Chain A
């Protein structure tokens, strides 16, 4: 009996341990894709479902970081308690990071540092940093919002990333006017790029990523073609190949013409030749590099907004023209990769970086990825100005920023923190994020860093100049039911890159009808 008793006790103890382990949640969590292990507290579960709190700890956390984490946890518990989100006499402002950059170890350190500096600098406000892995950040934030426990500030995040929560952000314009924040230091287009259709300004410029054309100098040399232009003309339109047999307006027709010359099959035949075999293509002339969602792609032919004044869908004509142009380029000329080719070993999902594509439309952020496997910058490229369409240049802009949720109980304090992040803390954060400053006064250091990575001497002035041709309204301007809108656009893109027989005009009509339904349902 004694033996049975002992066994029973051990068994009960073991089972209790098992139950506790199963129900108690993890004390530690591995980093996600980024490999980072952040010293953060994630209170998503507390917020909505009352589930167990999950903490993540850094392996390399020192005592100071540990004590900060404990402070964070306590502060978060206060905040989730449904009571006044104040910590003692200080107003607590929660800063949610995870929708965009911010999850890498060095980024976490930089963010913690600027938060610590802010908290040390005054006695009225305490910033609480909440870092969530990117792959669960949307679910976490959504859960917090649904549970009535939204953070005060979210970011850095682009417009696309923040559109899922459109309508939940605070209009910053009254605060700008009240506090006299100087926005004149930014290009006007850069500021306007953040304005919503209803006239509100929920974001202020922080990081800007203008778009332009990346071109492979080696492939142009090999084809004996002049490089694309690097200066905008007076009206924006540039001239290609001045003084050569190829001279002409630097527009999308010229891009298509060059792309055909630069597209080559396995037999060395280019796409201008009838003998060209597109099933054996080994080199392509042009690609929309990671900007092929239909609203992004279409904006190359001109800015537009797909929602009419009455709330119905109204796809801009120039977008449809561009969709047709790119479909023709992929399927008729064979000068841009289809989805199948995009996924092939020759392009491996990163076409321009493969060295097998001559020109790519992309943004400044793509400098992240024109690199070899070791992260060293590739030296075969330079950048050119954006082509025009019917005399107009529209170099669409991506911009990261921080936003304040309208639900904040402390809008004034949140705006003070926001201006700190956009101003005093901007440089260390931008450096950590690898983002281009929206403030022209801060760009020198950023481009100097890029020059170190890409020693071939890329003409970054092109990027600076392209900012003045930003798309207004932004191609990422929020629409009703943004997520559904985006999925519908993604489905169209899939068809465009997979179906050689797709009737673009008819499909665009069907898309418009589908969007009509989506927008109507959202109202």
Chain B
């Protein structure tokens, strides 16, 4: 008797398999053939993973222990932990990491809460034309981000941009959005909100999956909209929230495109856009110091793994899965 055929409804542990259970029959020729075909189909990804990810990662780990520099005529030599020692004493690493953290502290809450808020509004039953607004709010995500950043660059120019002209028209002196150390992070956050459509769609999907009867039960208990959101919606979309936070955090570690396009990698104003990834880019592509750049990349990877690990650890305290599973 197999486990699958055990009677249901019994209390206690499932019966142990009889010791004389015969070995399962060998897979048929058809199964083997299908297995091979499956492997063949999977092989491009497997090969691609090894060639395009695993090997370069291994190579870059090796480079981090060398003085590999493309513009040097000297042969590459093994330097042990020199690059790692340099990294921990490099003020640019500390500065650029601090810039990244500062921006993250300001920006991350907005890049999570704003799409969450949009999603909440766009799942409201009382909203007329929900599909239209969903499309409207998602639309910016379709536009190439480089183009969007260039548009923002012109729009926020303190001299000729229409943002300040509009503010000026109502008697408000516009700030120096792009060249003030005070305003640059709000500006970058504003630009980041341009691309929240993806997170919003995921939140909407999560909210739509919340069983309706839970809201009905909460309503019967006298819960208002805010209480329902707080005690029903948030707990039940917490896996989605968790996912979006992880993605946003990884995005923060890799934050590059906007400051690079906006400031050409200069770090202006006064180093406030010199993010860690910018320092990595400069070391790698401008100075062609492959050895040290590989070290910077691995440090970024390690930091990302640690922070994500902490987030996963914290998940058991606040992420609720409908069927109790956690991973």
Q: Does B47 contact A (CB under 8 A)?
A: yes
Expressed in whole angstroms, the minimum distance between the Cβ of B1 and any Cβ of chain A is: 34
Name the one of B30, B51, B72, B153 contacting A343, with C-beta atoms under 8 angstroms.
B153
In the complex, A495 Cα to B266 Cα: how many Å?
9
Residues in B269-323 with C-beta less than 8 Å from chain A: 269-271, 282, 285-288
Q: Does B208 contact A (CB under 8 A)?
A: no
Nearest A-chain residue to B176, judged by Cβ? A340
- Whether A340 and B158, one on each chain, are in contact in the complex, defined by CB atoms closer than 8 angstroms, is yes
In the complex, A483 Cα to B154 Cα: how many Å?
30
Q: Do A490 and B70 form a contact, CB below 8 Å, given A345-B160, A483-B287?
A: no
Name the one of A4, A142, A167, A343 contacting B157, with C-beta atoms under 8 angstroms.
A343
Q: Does A388 contact B (CB under 8 A)?
A: no
Q: Which of chain A's residues have a CB closer than 8 A to the CB of B288? A: 138-139, 142, 483
Q: Does A181 contact B (CB under 8 A)?
A: no
- Whether B44 and A19, one on each chain, are in contact in the complex, defined by CB atoms closer than 8 angstroms, is yes
Q: Which of chain B's residues have a CB closer than 8 A to the CB of A341? A: 159
Q: Spot the interface stretch: B33-41, B110-118, B124-132, B139-147.
A: B33-41
- Whether A22 and B48, one on each chain, are in contact in the complex, defined by CB atoms closer than 8 angstroms, is yes
Name the one of A23, A279, A338, A491 contacting B266, with C-beta atoms under 8 angstroms.
A491
Q: Which of chain B's residues have a CB closer than 8 A to the CB of A86? A: none
In the complex, A499 Cα to B176 Cα: how many Å?
12
In the complex, A61 Cα to B69 Cα: how many Å?
37
In the complex, A258 Cα to B72 Cα: how many Å?
47
- Whether A499 and B270, one on each chain, are in contact in the complex, defined by CB atoms closer than 8 angstroms, is yes
- Whether A487 and B44, one on each chain, are in contact in the complex, defined by CB atoms closer than 8 angstroms, is no
Interface 0/1 of A112-146, CB less than 8 Å to B:
00000000000000000000000000110011011
In the complex, A142 Cα to B158 Cα: how many Å?
40
Q: Which of chain B's residues have a CB closer than 8 A to the CB of A346? A: 159-160
**Which range holds the interface residue count of chain A?**
35 or more
In the complex, A483 Cα to B266 Cα: how many Å?
14
Interface 0/1 of B253-273, CB less than 8 Å to A:
000000000000011111100
Q: Do A4 and B33 form a contact, CB below 8 Å, given A12-B40, A340-B176, A483-B287?
A: yes
Residues in A308-364 with C-beta less than 8 Å from chain B: 338-341, 343-346
Expressed in whole angstroms, the minimum distance between the Cβ of B325 and any Cβ of chain A is: 35
**Which range holds the interface residue count of chain B?**
35 or more
Interface 0/1 of B173-200, CB less than 8 Å to A:
0001011000000000000000000000
Q: Which of chain B's residues have a CB closer than 8 A to the CB of A338? A: 179
- Whether A494 and B44, one on each chain, are in contact in the complex, defined by CB atoms closer than 8 angstroms, is no
Chain A: interface secondary structure?
A: helix
Residues in B36-67 with C-beta less than 8 Å from chain A: 37, 40-41, 43-44, 47-48, 51
- Whether B70 and A498, one on each chain, are in contact in the complex, defined by CB atoms closer than 8 angstroms, is no
Name the one of B47, B71, B268, B285 contacting A494, with C-beta atoms under 8 angstroms.
B268
Q: Does B17 contact A (CB under 8 A)?
A: no
Expressed in whole angstroms, the minimum distance between the Cβ of B288 and any Cβ of chain A is: 6
Q: Which of chain A's residues have a CB closer than 8 A to the CB of B51? A: 23
Interface 0/1 of A370-386, CB less than 8 Å to B:
00000000000000000
- Whether B267 and A345, one on each chain, are in contact in the complex, defined by CB atoms closer than 8 angstroms, is no
- Whether B267 and A498, one on each chain, are in contact in the complex, defined by CB atoms closer than 8 angstroms, is no
In the complex, A339 Cα to B268 Cα: how many Å?
10
Q: Does A8 contact B (CB under 8 A)?
A: yes
- Whether A344 and B73, one on each chain, are in contact in the complex, defined by CB atoms closer than 8 angstroms, is no
Q: Which of chain A's residues have a CB closer than 8 A to the CB of B153? A: 343
Expressed in whole angstroms, the minimum distance between the Cβ of A7 and any Cβ of chain B is: 8
- Whether A484 and B287, one on each chain, are in contact in the complex, defined by CB atoms closer than 8 angstroms, is yes
Interface 0/1 of A1-40, CB less than 8 Å to B:
0001000100110010011001100000000000000000
In the complex, A341 Cα to B160 Cα: how many Å?
8
Q: Do A498 and B269 form a contact, CB below 8 Å, given A18-B44, A483-B71, A487-B282?
A: yes
Nearest A-chain residue to B159, judged by Cβ? A344
Q: Does A186 contact B (CB under 8 A)?
A: no
Nearest B-chain residue to A490, judged by Cβ? B266
- Whether A487 and B159, one on each chain, are in contact in the complex, defined by CB atoms closer than 8 angstroms, is no
- Whether A11 and B71, one on each chain, are in contact in the complex, defined by CB atoms closer than 8 angstroms, is no
- Whether A146 and B160, one on each chain, are in contact in the complex, defined by CB atoms closer than 8 angstroms, is no
Name the one of B43, B44, B70, B271 contacting A142, with C-beta atoms under 8 angstroms.
B70
Which of B68, B72, B159 is packed against the most chain A CB atoms within 10 Å? B159
- Whether A483 and B158, one on each chain, are in contact in the complex, defined by CB atoms closer than 8 angstroms, is no
- Whether B154 and A345, one on each chain, are in contact in the complex, defined by CB atoms closer than 8 angstroms, is yes
Expressed in whole angstroms, the minimum distance between the Cβ of B163 and any Cβ of chain A is: 13
Q: Do A494 and B266 form a contact, CB below 8 Å, given A11-B40, A143-B70?
A: yes
Q: Which of chain B's residues have a CB closer than 8 A to the CB of A392? A: none
In the complex, A348 Cα to B202 Cα: how many Å?
39
Q: Do A139 and B70 form a contact, CB below 8 Å, given A8-B33, A11-B41?
A: yes
Expressed in whole angstroms, the minimum distance between the Cβ of B56 and any Cβ of chain A is: 11
- Whether A279 and B159, one on each chain, are in contact in the complex, defined by CB atoms closer than 8 angstroms, is yes
- Whether A499 and B269, one on each chain, are in contact in the complex, defined by CB atoms closer than 8 angstroms, is yes
Expressed in whole angstroms, the minimum distance between the Cβ of B70 and any Cβ of chain A is: 3
Q: Which of chain A's residues have a CB closer than 8 A to the CB of B267? A: 491, 494
- Whether A15 and B266, one on each chain, are in contact in the complex, defined by CB atoms closer than 8 angstroms, is no
Q: Does A107 contact B (CB under 8 A)?
A: no
Q: Does A407 contact B (CB under 8 A)?
A: yes
- Whether A145 and B159, one on each chain, are in contact in the complex, defined by CB atoms closer than 8 angstroms, is no
Interface 0/1 of B133-167, CB less than 8 Å to A:
00000000000000000000110011111000000
- Whether A344 and B268, one on each chain, are in contact in the complex, defined by CB atoms closer than 8 angstroms, is no
Expressed in whole angstroms, the minimum distance between the Cβ of A132 and any Cβ of chain B is: 14
Residues in A462-512 with C-beta less than 8 Å from chain B: 483-484, 487, 490-491, 494-495, 498-499
Q: Which of chain B's residues have a CB closer than 8 A to the CB of A12? A: 40
Interface 0/1 of A407-448, CB less than 8 Å to B:
100000000000000000000000000000000000000000
In the complex, A18 Cα to B42 Cα: how many Å?
12
- Whether B159 and A146, one on each chain, are in contact in the complex, defined by CB atoms closer than 8 angstroms, is no
Name the one of B68, B76, B179 contacting A340, with C-beta atoms under 8 angstroms.
B179
- Whether A11 and B37, one on each chain, are in contact in the complex, defined by CB atoms closer than 8 angstroms, is yes
- Whether A345 and B157, one on each chain, are in contact in the complex, defined by CB atoms closer than 8 angstroms, is yes
- Whether B73 and A340, one on each chain, are in contact in the complex, defined by CB atoms closer than 8 angstroms, is no
Residues in A134-187 with C-beta less than 8 Å from chain B: 138-139, 142-143, 145-146, 164-165, 167-168
Q: Does A281 contact B (CB under 8 A)?
A: yes
In the complex, A499 Cα to B181 Cα: how many Å?
10
Nearest B-chain residue to A501, judged by Cβ? B270
Nearest A-chain residue to B34, judged by Cβ? A4
Q: Do A340 and B159 form a contact, CB below 8 Å, given A15-B41, A15-B43, A18-B44?
A: yes
In the complex, A72 Cα to B162 Cα: how many Å?
54
A-B contact pairs, 19 of them (CB 8 A): A4-B30, A15-B43, A19-B47, A138-B288, A139-B70, A139-B285, A142-B70, A142-B71, A145-B71, A168-B73, A339-B268, A340-B158, A344-B159, A344-B160, A344-B161, A483-B288, A487-B282, A494-B266, A495-B268
Known: A22-B48, A498-B268. 4 other contacts (CB 8 A): A338-B179, A340-B158, A495-B270, A498-B269
Interface residues of B (CB under 8 A from A): 30, 33, 37, 40-41, 43-44, 47-48, 51, 68-73, 76, 153-154, 157-161, 176, 178-179, 266-271, 282, 285-288
